[in-house]
Amino acid sequence: MSFIQPRTMPGVMELLPLEQVAFQRMLDTIRRNYERFGFLPVETPVMEFTKVLLTKSGGETERQVYLVHHSGSLKQDEKPELALRFDLTVPLARYVAEHERKLNFPFRRYQIQRVYRGERAQRGRFREFYQCDIDVIGKDKLDLYYDAEIPAVIYNLFRELNFGKFTIHMNHRKLLAGFFAYLGIEEAEQQMLVLREVDKIDKRGREKVMETLLAEPFSLSSATVEKLMQFLETGNGRSNSETLAALREWDIQEPRWLEGLSELEQVFHQLARLDVPDDYLRLNLAIARGLDYYTGMVYETLLDDHLKLGSVCSGGRYENLAGHYTKSKLPGVGISIGASRLFFQLMDAGLVNLGQNIVKVLVTQMDDSLADDYLQITAALRAGGINTLLHVEGGKFQKQLKAADRAGIRFALIMGGSEKEQGVVTVKDLSKGEQHQFARDAMVEGINGLING
């Protein structure tokens, strides 16, 4: 008998139970913070009509879309009617356009679901992964306040996620566009290419990037490159307010520049009022976040002690969410956390605590003649809201403790003949090696005290 090799397709993240517990915790924290800021949950189907998904078509995304058909449906040479979503923004656009009349604007939604991309397998890169998005969508216009609120969400969320110090890097697309126009680089396409090059400074080094920009196909003048670098490095060694002041000194009259600069000033002003400490924020003129549809503020969040992970949360402002589906103009601002990649990388870096089981107590079986008591104790603990497991298999007591320890169960409840006589139970805290005794009728309170204390 030959077996089929049990394996998953590459590019999916399948976890062991305790890892899953840790991952779930992370998602819970994200959800809790999103809700605290008044975002409402939305879920959309994994599949959408291909027509709906591939509106903007072309380029990288289309190449990565999984098309779907069921076994009876496929007519040869016909593009399947359905496809798997590759992000949550396009489904959101469809959702908002479809339910426009029933939604309250500004519409705030959060969405934590999996998306699918036909990626080449690579470390930390998935074909199926979680995105945790929030967006605020306005009708016709959307107050700049929301652009400030976004970093406030990030700040509160990542504080609670507790991955150490982090920095929210911010930039403004209009400021960039204005500056490029000032440099004489008018075409958006060309700006994108230059920005992409600039984005590689960390990887390739400043000199290399400058060389590239001077050479074909960019062929920028050395004066232009000089100015560009000077601009991009404005924030280096400066506080955010100093950077803003330094930008003012350029004295550029390009309208987009002025608008971007003024918006940045307002956003930083409001962020201070929202109690987001300035050292968690950084006006970084060099970040440009790929996605072309951003038109205003852009955000990237980096963990200070793990810069290699890259941005763990990014997003920005866009002019019109659902132009393909409705006449209404729907500007928005939002962010996305790639939870699967983030979790995977944190696990890789040893930053995920995998020791904690959601099961808190293992009721051990010291004495077979007390089996009925163990059943009652187990039921009582569960009734008291404590996640409890009964080690019905019994066996050597040592092995029972070992089983609890290995499973990451913190407490072992022990009751042998002597406890039975005294009407008490012994609770061993395996994480500390301490033992406590509680009266049978006070054990729930006692254990809860240990869990919370």
Partner RNA sequence: GAGGGUGUAGCUCAGUGGUAGAGCUCCGGAUUGUGGCUCCGGUGGUCGAGGGUUCAAUCCCCUUCACUCUCCCCA
Sheet strand arrangement including 332-338:
40-41, 107-116, 128-137, 332-338, 313-318, 294-303, 166-172, 281-283
Which of 82, 146, 87, 78 shows the shortest CA–CA distance to 116? 87
Which of these segments, 91-99, 241-249, 379-387, 425-433, binds RNA (CB under 7 A)? 425-433
Residue number with CB closer to RNA (171 or 243): 171
User: Which residues in the 132-191 window bind RNA by CB under 7 A?
Assistant: none
Indicate which single residue of 196, 206, 208, 248 sits in contact with RNA (rule: CB under 7 A): 196
Query: 156 with 36: CB under 8 angstroms?
Result: yes
Residue number with CB closer to RNA (149 or 300): 300
Q: What is the dihedral of CA 310, 316, 320, 321, to 10 degrees?
A: 60
- 6 makes contact with RNA (CB under 7 A): no
Sheet strand arrangement including 388-390:
388-390, 361-363, 411-414, 424-429, 434-439
- 32 makes contact with RNA (CB under 7 A): no
Residue number with CB closer to RNA (273 or 308): 308
Burial of 13-37, coded b for 16+ CB within 10 Å and e otherwise, reads bebeebbebbbebbeeebbebbeeb
Question: With contacts defined by CB under 7 A, how many residues of the chain interact with RNA?
Answer: 55
Residue number with CB closer to RNA (13 or 261): 13
Phi, psi of 145 (to 5 degrees): -50, -40
- 360 makes contact with RNA (CB under 7 A): no
Which of these segments, 22-30, 96-104, 121-129, 260-268, binds RNA (CB under 7 A)? 121-129
- 416 makes contact with RNA (CB under 7 A): yes
Site string for RNA, 41-80 (x = CB under 7 A): -------------------x--------------------
Query: 285 with 171: CB under 8 angstroms?
Result: yes
Residue number with CB closer to RNA (166 or 268): 166
- 290 makes contact with RNA (CB under 7 A): yes
Cα angle at 367 between 361 and 369, to 5 degrees? 115
Smallest separation, CB 101 to RNA (Å): 29
Q: At what angle do helices 371-383 and 443-452 cross, to 10 degrees?
A: 60
Smallest separation, CB 255 to RNA (Å): 26
- C-alpha 216/C-alpha 296 separation (Å) is 30
Segment (H or E) for 49: strand 47-49
Which of these segments, 36-44, 317-325, 413-421, 442-450, binds RNA (CB under 7 A)? 413-421
Indicate which single residue of 100, 119, 259, 265 sits in contact with RNA (rule: CB under 7 A): 119
- 122 makes contact with RNA (CB under 7 A): yes
User: Which residues in the 202-261 window bind RNA by CB under 7 A?
Assistant: 203
Which of these segments, 5-13, 27-35, 326-334, 375-383, binds RNA (CB under 7 A)? 5-13
Residue number with CB closer to RNA (246 or 351): 351
DSSP string, 364-387: --S-GGGHHHHHHHHHHHHHTT--
User: How many Cα atoms within 13 Å fall on the side-chain side of residue 167?
Assistant: 17
Q: Are strands 166-172 and 281-283 parallel, antiparallel or unpaired?
A: parallel
Segment (H or E) for 333: strand 332-338
- 426 makes contact with RNA (CB under 7 A): yes
* Residue 217 CB contacts under 8 Å (≥ 6 apart), including other chains: none
Give the position of tokens 């810069």.
307
Smallest separation, CB 3 to RNA (Å): 10
Which residues would be at the binding site for RNA (CB under 7 A)?
Answer: 2, 9-11, 60, 87, 117, 119-127, 129, 131, 196, 200, 203, 289-292, 310-314, 336, 338, 340-341, 366, 396-399, 401-402, 405-406, 414, 416-419, 426, 428, 430-433, 435
